[in-house]
Amino acid sequence: MKNFKLIIAVLILATISYSCNNSAVQRMSEKINPEEPERAVGMSDWAGVEDMKWHIGTQDAVDVAKNMDSAWKAKDYETMRTFISDTATITATNGFTFDSPDEFIESRKRRDSVITSNGATFDWKFTNLFSVDLDPTTGGEHVHVDYYGMYTKDGKEDNFRVMNRYYVIDGKIVVWNSYSQEIIEPKEETEEE
Amino acid sequence: MKKLKLIFTISILAAFVYSCNNSAVQRMMEEPVEPERSVGFTNWSDDGVEYKFHLGTDAAVQVVRDLDKVWSDQDWEGVRGMLSDTAKFYWRNGNVFSVDEFMTQISSDSTGSATWKFNGAFSVDLDPTRGGEHVHADFSVSTKTDSTTVNRDVLERYYIIDGKVVTWHQYSIDVK
């Protein structure tokens, strides 16, 4: 009986010791993996989201832009179309807004055909690609794609930079705005980090 | 003697249990802090490493907000103070300006006819372990020329190091 009491006493001591230490593990765990939202920076003055800051977006949204670009390069218009929502608004650098995504695709086809028949080439390369998001709890991200464009005809090259900003929801482009910057004298792209 | 043996055995058991659990605490302490998430891609690389974009800092965004404020106030000295001596400006129409050319341009009458609204700004960073962030800012700009008003949305990308603008790229889209 005496032994039994001793065993119980020591077991209680061991349990208390384990329990204290386990609380420490839990506290550490909470400290290292807090259920806090991801960091956000900046500001927005767009109506309805004035109080929001920007988060980093997702690779899924980035991939939509990447895949769209691959399809465009391959002149695979059907695949291009699959990345654009049926109700998308697409606005070119000159402010022209296409009536529909289908009109946009048809205009690409016509333009590519004219370029080819003129013996010209139009090529571009990605410079930067990333996505940001005002509210990660709701769908929609703003993907920014930076291009360096090269139009060549009769041995003469015209260069320009374009920044496409896509608003992507559920893998489809819903808004597509193209911002441009002319290049008077082509220069090597500056490397920046 | 029997009792002593028992106490000794149970004590070792308790110490073992404590020790195992304590190792868990230590492992958690040693667990490396995960770097922040990054996405996208760039072909800018000065060392062959492939970089992705991280979120930047509010400090870099604040530089652009302050710059907008001093420009709005036409405080040209204030603007100059926020530019690196070797800064370059890539205007949407293809003009490339040095700091002096830029200061002459913005302090001339041409900016007097423009009004703008600052719509938003954020910062991204390819390598948070090194200085330099890319702040993107979005403006709606109206420019009056004679009797016409031209409206544009302007995206500006600033490369900022140590609170100074080093490169400044401007892109635009016409608003009809």
Position B21 scores a pLDDT of 61
CB atoms within 10 A of CB B71: 16
User: CATH for A55-182, among 3.40.640.10, 3.30.450.40, 3.10.450.50, 3.10.129.10?
Assistant: 3.10.450.50
Residues B164, B85 share a domain:
yes
A91 touches chain B (CB under 8 A): yes
Q: Decide if B105 is inside a domain.
A: yes
- Are B25 and B66 in a shared domain? no
Q: Say which of B11, B52, B167 has its CB closest to residue A192.
A: B167
Q: Hey, is B99 helix, strand or coil? A: helix
Q: B120, A45: Cβ pair inside 8 Å?
A: yes
Please tell me if residue A75 touches chain B, with a CB cutoff of 8 Å: no
For an interface test with A, which of B9, B101, B173, B176 has the most A Cβ atoms less than 10 Å from its Cβ? B173
What does B31-42 look like in DSSP terms, one character per residue? SPPPPPP-B-EE
Residue B39 lies in a domain: no
Hey, is A4 helix, strand or coil? Answer: helix
Strand partners, A132: A56, A142
Which of B1, B7, B27, B28 is the best substitution to test chain A (most A C-beta atoms within 10 A)? B28
* Cα gap B127→B12, rounded to integer Å: 50
Burial class (CB in 10 A: 0-12, 13-18, 19+), B157: buried
Q: Note whether residue B92 is domain-resident.
A: yes
pLDDT: which is higher, A158 or A26: A158
pLDDT tens, position by position, A80-123: 999 999 999 999 999 999 999 999 999 999 999 999 999 999 99
Tell me the CA distances in angstroms from A67 to A59, A70, A71, A179, one per residue in order: 12, 5, 6, 20
How far out from the chain centre does Cα B159 lie?
8
Number of Cβ atoms within 10 Å of the Cβ of A178: 19
Same domain, B113 and B61: yes
State the Cα–Cα distance between residues B64 and B75, nearest whole angstrom: 14
- For residue B163, give the CATH number of its domain: 3.10.450.50
**Residue A193 and residue B61: Cβ atoms within 8 Å?**
no
Is B16 domain-assigned?
yes
Write out chain B residues lying below 8 Å of A66, CB-based.
41
- Same domain flag for B17 and B101: no
B156 is a domain residue: yes
Could A28 and B123 be called an inter-chain contact, meaning their C-beta atoms sit closer than 8 Å? no
At A149 the pLDDT is 95
User: Whats the size of chain B, residue-wise?
Assistant: 176
Does the distance separating the beta carbons of A45 and B44 come in below 8 Å? Answer: no
Q: How confident is the model at residue A37 (pLDDT cuts 50, 70, 90)?
A: confident
Element holding B46 (H helix, E strand): none
- Residue B145's pLDDT is 80
The tens place of each residue's pLDDT in chain B, 176 residues long, gives 666 776 667 666 666 666 656 666 676 666 667 778 999 999 888 888 889 999 999 999 999 999 999 999 999 999 999 999 999 999 999 999 999 999 998 988 655 678 999 999 999 999 999 999 999 999 999 998 878 899 999 999 999 999 999 999 999 999 99
ipTM: 0.81
pLDDT of residue A186 exceeding 70: no
Residue A149: Cβ-neighbour burial (10 angstroms; 0-12, 13-18, 19+): middle
- Choose the closest CB to A91 out of B46, B57, B173: B173
* Same domain for B162 and B83: yes
- C-alpha–C-alpha distance, residues A63 and B40, integer Å: 8
Q: Are residues B82 and B152 in the same domain?
A: yes
Task: Compute the mean pLDDT over every residue in chain A, rounded to the nearest whole number.
Answer: 88
Among A41, A56, A62, beta carbon nearest to B61: A41
Helix, strand, coil shares of chain B, percent, nearest 5, are 35, 40, 25
On whether both B100 and B13 belong to a single domain, the answer is: no
Do B73 and B109 share a domain, yes or no?
A: yes
How close does chain A come to B76, measured CA to CA in Å?
24
**B82 domain residue, yes or no:** yes
Looking at the structure of chain B, the number of domains it has is 2
Sign of CA dihedral A60, A62, A68, A70: negative
- Assess A33–B contact: CB distance below 8 Å, yes or no: no
Range of the domain at B58: 54-174
Q: Smallest Cβ distance to A21: which of B21, B29, B39? A: B21
Answer whether A67 touches B (CB < 8 Å): no
Q: Is residue B101 part of a domain?
A: yes
DSSP symbol at A127: E
